[in-house]
Amino acid sequence: MTIKGEKVILRSFRLSDAPSFVRWLNDPEVDRFLRAGAKKITLKEEIKWIKNLSKKIKTEKHFAIDTIQGNLVGSCGLSLSLKNKNAVLGIGIDDKRYWNQGLGTEATKMLIDYGFKKLKLHRIDLKVYSYNGRAIKVYKKLGFKFEGMQREEVFYKGKYYDLIQMGLLSREWKRK
Ligand SMILES: CC(C)(COP(=O)(O)OP(=O)(O)OC[C@H]1O[C@@H](n2cnc3c(N)ncnc32)[C@H](O)[C@@H]1OP(=O)(O)O)[C@@H](O)C(=O)NCCC(=O)NCCS
């Protein structure tokens, strides 16, 4: 499946994407915002993750993000709770050379649209580290509301940080 925007294309993962993700996700500058110092990812694990997507197709809607020129730059996805029509959103412009060019905003917008219009979700939420000002800016811009935080949940490089929860309802998205 492919969703085309102005700057980015969301498409299904390919096994050949794996080496790029391993390189990017193990980059400390990227890891800081996504997994805050978690264990390094191996190529074997990444390939397994991509292969497993096809087994979880009903609840895991993940896309690779290409630029409109066709360069792989990251990924995004929704993990669904079918009973409640909810999903948890994740996004990474994992190739840091492409940060701050509007790609993350557009990809997130396209994913939300897919979630509410195509999947008929009622609610989409996410968690973000308190020090990730750029991501929080993007989520606020797209209408996500601050819903609370887990105080000092994340231990990163000798310090504790809050984990912020944000959420967006289908009716709020329609109004925008
Ligand atoms: C967060 C992320 C998806 C945003 O995508 P992006 O393409 O870099 O961001 P965009 O260019 O679309 O928008 C960034 C916005 O934040 C602003 N911004 C940049 N750095 C900022 C900072 N430190 N604090 C606050 N705002 C900041 C920009 O000015 C821009 O706002 P504007 O559109 O009003 O000018 C991307 O940077 C990324 O993947 N980072 C690493 C992984 C990550 O953080 N994932 C999210 C985990 S919850």
Tens digit of pLDDT for each residue in 12-32? 999 999 999 999 999 999 999
Question: What value does the mean pLDDT take over residues 151-171?
Answer: 97
Q: Is position 101 within any domain? A: yes
For 57-82, write each residue's pLDDT tens digit. Answer: 999 999 999 999 999 999 999 999 99
Range of the domain at 76: 2-125
The secondary structure element, H or E, covering residue 61 is strand 60-67
Query: Whose Cα sits closest to atom 4 in ligand 1?
Result: 104
Q: Is position 18 within any domain? A: yes
pLDDT band at 153 (very low <50, low <70, confident <90, very high): very high
The angle that helices 43-53 and 18-25 make with each other, rounded to 10 degrees, is 120
pLDDT for position 23: 97
Instruction: Count how many domains the chain has.
Output: 1
Query: Whose Cα sits closest to atom 26 in ligand 1?
Result: 134
C-alpha span between 152 and 32 (Å, rounded): 16
Q: Is position 13 within any domain? A: yes
Question: What value does the mean pLDDT take over residues 35-53?
Answer: 95
pLDDT band at 176 (very low <50, low <70, confident <90, very high): confident
In short, whether 105's Cβ falls inside 6 Å of ligand 1 is: yes
Q: Is position 142 within any domain? A: no
Token pair 């390939």: residue: 47
For 72-118, write each residue's pLDDT tens digit. Answer: 999 999 999 999 999 999 999 999 999 999 999 999 999 999 999 99
Ligand 1 centroid distance, CA of 91 (Å): 11
Question: What value does the mean pLDDT take over residues 41-59?
Answer: 96
CATH number of the domain that 121 lies in? 3.40.630.30
Q: Is position 156 within any domain? A: no
Ligand 1 centroid distance, CA of 83 (Å): 32
In short, whether 166's Cβ falls inside 6 Å of ligand 1 is: no
Q: Is position 112 within any domain? A: yes
Ligand 1 centroid distance, CA of 58 (Å): 29
> Which of 35, 100, 110 for a ligand 1 pocket mutation test, highest count of atoms within 8 Å of Cβ?
100
Q: Is position 155 within any domain? A: no
Strand partners, 127: 165
Q: Is position 65 within any domain? A: yes
Q: What is the pTM of this model?
A: 0.97
C-alpha span between 106 and 124 (Å, rounded): 16
In short, whether 167's Cβ falls inside 6 Å of ligand 1 is: no
Angle subtended at Cα 38 by Cα 151 and Cα 166, rounded to the nearest 5 degrees = 40
pLDDT for position 92: 98
The angle that helices 133-141 and 103-113 make with each other, rounded to 10 degrees, is 50
In short, whether 138's Cβ falls inside 6 Å of ligand 1 is: yes
pLDDT for position 126: 98
pLDDT for position 174: 86
